[in-house]
Structure 1
């Protein structure tokens, strides 16, 4: 009967466990969330968030309370009858991802009955003082109630997973220490106060004469006869050890317990558990019997041989199912449900907090264009290049700027020599005129030709390196044509700021040619705020036949750039 109940109990447990194992699990907590960090660990959290400490602070995690119910049995000198049952209430708190502490209060009750008779019960006061004649066969029985309280250390490793974020179940083992009190009674008398001596003797006589005696085959029949004979009142106090301390007028013993269980997650708040716990108290009287008979159990009636005291101790077992609930605000789940590797794996897969070093890309020639995009990987140091890493050739004459001594050679003067200088043949009709001009002949004539335009970055008045190179080339042409005046023209005047910006840019070009290239300031005509041109461009052109001032006061000096 007991074995069938155990099978049914386990079947139900695994059925519920299978259903719970399909529960959906939530994600892990956010390690950057300071609301779940206790105040004493906030300094570590601050250091972690500043990337000064690699480990996140341990979060505040919830408590667990649980209620268990199941089969309660005693292993002793008297065979355990069908378990009546037990219940337990526990509180559990994680100290880490592997270890937690659990306080458990339990109650269990069970019954026992031997189907073999005993005759050497003389040293057991529960039987010897109830009126049984020496040598009369009795059938040991008991009913025991046990209350215990213990503190257990619980270890779990199944939450540490390397190939999966989480699991829907948790396997754990535990061991603990505590105390228990118990009360054991036997059914030795009928309701009218008389003993079962006659009933026991009749049952003994009925089966002792059979071929099987008190063997296995007759056990069921014997138990049936005993059940019919006993009234189940359990009125007689069982033997106790007078040396044992008392608590609440009941024997008290220290206990040690061990066990294991499987916990199945239903959701973030509830879980279901199947557990088995074995408890070892230092007593042999949980079943009310500590004496071992000399000889076989079917001793001849009338025998009064001296029984020996057993040296083993009784134990009791609690096989249970339970429902657990996590409680606590501003806290994560109990840590035995969280994978401590979760943060590291997620950070490696998709960094959110990790401080990544700046990428270093190879640039062998140091031109500012990385090798993977550089179409000219061996550009000389300092040579200006375009976005593809190719040496810049402003005038397209085939000579790169870093070699070109004439950056803006007109197309009609090309091809050029190795220094990038072209030869511009004058028109046949004007050979003599050009000679006169070169010698300072006809006043007012200028043959300087095209001059470059200087481009500025938006809102900037600073000359770029490219612009300075263009002006250096233009300066040489201006020096070679001393009869020429040069108009320097800036554009746009729709607002005061545009007018001042145009003035500043023209002033920057003239100042460079005067200060850096040594050209007389009187040779320039200062024009700004003109229309018909690009606002970010300053043009240089032959101004020999134009009129205009050499210098012009700033129109809006309070708006000058760089003040």
Structure 2
């Protein structure tokens, strides 16, 4: 029956282990979450978040409490009758990802019975006090209750994983020290107070004459006969060593425990554990017997030598199934469930916190466009380029701006010379007018030439970079002709918003030339809302001889202006 029970438990273990190996849980906790960092480690967390320290602070992690039940048996001088029963409570706390401490309190009970008779019981007070006559064969038996308390170091073997985040299956080993008290009783008397001497002699005589005697072939029959004789009251105190200290009026002995287990995670709170714990006790009296037999005999003559004390101590084993629960608020799950490599692997795969250096890309000509995108990789230093690294040519005359001495050359004045300077032919209709001007026939006309037009985006009053370049070139012309007045003309006035927009654009052009290029305000004639032009264009022209104000108040200043 006992062997079938062990086979069933072992089969369940392999079944759970197989399921666990296929079940992978999600990633671990967020190392940037300060709510799970204890106050004493917050300075480290702050340094880590500021990239001044490479290691994240260890988080606050939950305790585990558990209940275990299972089979207990004693390995001593008397054979365990069948596995007894035991239970244990524990509390466990991780000190790191691999090592944790566990305190465990256990309560166990089991029974034992020898199917071979013994004669060397003369120094065992349990049998002598029961009135057995010298030379009478007895069959050792016992019932023992054990209570122990131990502190164990637990080493987790499977949570550091290189090829997956983590799983819901853990193997662990443990060892520790503690103490125990025990109470051993012997079934040496019948219910009426008499002993079993005659019954034991009858059983002895029955099997002593057989071929196998008290060998293994007859053990089942002998045990059956003994069970029919013994009443199972266990009324006699087992032998004790008076030199041993007492606790709660029971013998106290130090113990050493060792074992291994497998833990199966059900969810973040609960887990199951299969565990085998072996306890080494510093006593030989857990089974109530410490005297060594010199052999098994088939007659009284075989048991005449004096008994000798055994040299080994009794041990007991506890094979259990347990249920565990993680407890604690604002804490991550117990560290033995977490993979300490998870943070590092995630950062390597998809950095969130890692401080990465700026990439340095080659730019041979230093124009701000990396070589892999530069369509003109050898532009001179300081030459303005476009987003493809090609030298700018504002007026499209074929001469790049860094060589062009006339940055804006009207189309009608092209082609240009090597310096980008064009020659503008005078209109045929104006030859006579030009002659009159040269001869002074029309008072006040100057030779400033053609001035550019500035185009704005729809509803915008902001000058583009190209418009600023045009105005910069125009400013040079204006400054070189100090006797000329300049008319700045905006168009369209069909509505209040058009009137205001026209005013804003003329004002933007004049303000740029005055504030940025240093042209005197007095040289401009302010015209807006004119007819016959493009609403999005402001024209500049020679205004010498014309009349008009240099500044004009905004027609509708409270209107919302487009940008």
Provide the TM-score with structure 1 as the length reference: 0.87
Q: SS of the counterpart of 2:11?
A: helix
Q: SS of the counterpart of 2:325?
A: strand
- 1:87, CA displacement in angstroms? 0.8
- 1:381, CA displacement in angstroms? 1.6
Distance 2:302 2:471 in 1: 136
The equivalent residue for 2:350 is 350
Q: How does 1:57-136 map to 2 (within 5 A)?
A: 57-136=57-136
Q: 1:394 to 1:252 in 2, by over 3 A?
A: same
- 1:210, CA displacement in angstroms? 2.0
Is 1:242 the counterpart of 2:242 in the alignment? Answer: yes
Q: 1:112 to 1:482 in 2, by over 3 A?
A: closer
Q: 1:542 to 1:262 in 2, by over 3 A?
A: same
| 1:20-47 CA distance string (max 9 Å, x none) | 7776745532333333232333333333
Q: SS of the counterpart of 1:417?
A: coil
Distance 2:459 2:357 in 1: 34
Q: 1:125 to 1:476 in 2, by over 3 A?
A: closer
Q: How does 1:225-236 map to 2 (within 5 A)?
A: 225-236=225-236
Moved more, 317-326 or 20-29: 20-29
Query: Paired residues, what number?
Result: 557
Does the 8 Å CA contact 2:393/2:401 hold for their aligned counterparts?
A: yes
Does the 8 Å CA contact 1:24/1:267 hold for their aligned counterparts?
A: no
Distance 1:332 1:278 in 2: 32
Distance 1:557 1:8 in 2: 93
Q: SS of the counterpart of 2:311?
A: coil
The equivalent residue for 1:158 is 158
Is 1:511 the counterpart of 2:514 in the alignment? Answer: yes
Q: SS of the counterpart of 1:424?
A: coil
Q: 1:368 to 1:68 in 2, by over 3 A?
A: same
Q: SS of the counterpart of 1:66?
A: strand
The equivalent residue for 2:294 is 294
- 1:181, CA displacement in angstroms? 0.6
Q: How does 1:137-216 map to 2 (within 5 A)?
A: 137-216=137-216
Distance 1:534 1:283 in 2: 111
Where does structure 1 lack aligned partners over 5 or more consecutive residues?
Answer: 559-563
The equivalent residue for 1:38 is 38
- 1:10, CA displacement in angstroms? 2.6
The equivalent residue for 2:261 is 261
Q: SS of the counterpart of 1:84?
A: strand
Q: 1:14 to 1:474 in 2, by over 3 A?
A: closer
Distance 1:38 1:251 in 2: 44
The equivalent residue for 1:372 is 372
Q: 1:395 to 1:28 in 2, by over 3 A?
A: same
Distance 1:179 1:457 in 2: 90
Distance 1:247 1:44 in 2: 47
- 1:361, CA displacement in angstroms? 3.8
Q: SS of the counterpart of 1:7?
A: helix
Distance 1:115 1:165 in 2: 55
- 1:273, CA displacement in angstroms? 0.5
Distance 1:418 1:209 in 2: 135
Q: 1:407 to 1:193 in 2, by over 3 A?
A: same
Distance 1:224 1:513 in 2: 117
Where does structure 2 lack aligned partners over 5 or more consecutive residues?
Answer: 559-563
The equivalent residue for 1:561 is none
Does the 8 Å CA contact 1:159/1:336 hold for their aligned counterparts?
A: yes
User: RMSD of aligned C-alpha atoms?
Assistant: 3.6
Does the 8 Å CA contact 1:25/1:268 hold for their aligned counterparts?
A: no
The equivalent residue for 2:399 is 399
| 1:212-243 CA distance string (max 9 Å, x none) | 22222222222222222222221211111010
Moved more, 527-536 or 75-84: 527-536
Distance 2:216 2:39 in 1: 66
Q: 1:66 to 1:17 in 2, by over 3 A?
A: farther
Moved more, 62-71 or 530-539: 530-539
Is 1:328 the counterpart of 2:328 in the alignment? Answer: yes
Does the 8 Å CA contact 2:475/2:517 hold for their aligned counterparts?
A: no
Distance 1:40 1:359 in 2: 37
- 1:187, CA displacement in angstroms? 1.6
Q: 1:330 to 1:512 in 2, by over 3 A?
A: closer
- 1:284, CA displacement in angstroms? 0.6
Distance 1:154 1:82 in 2: 29
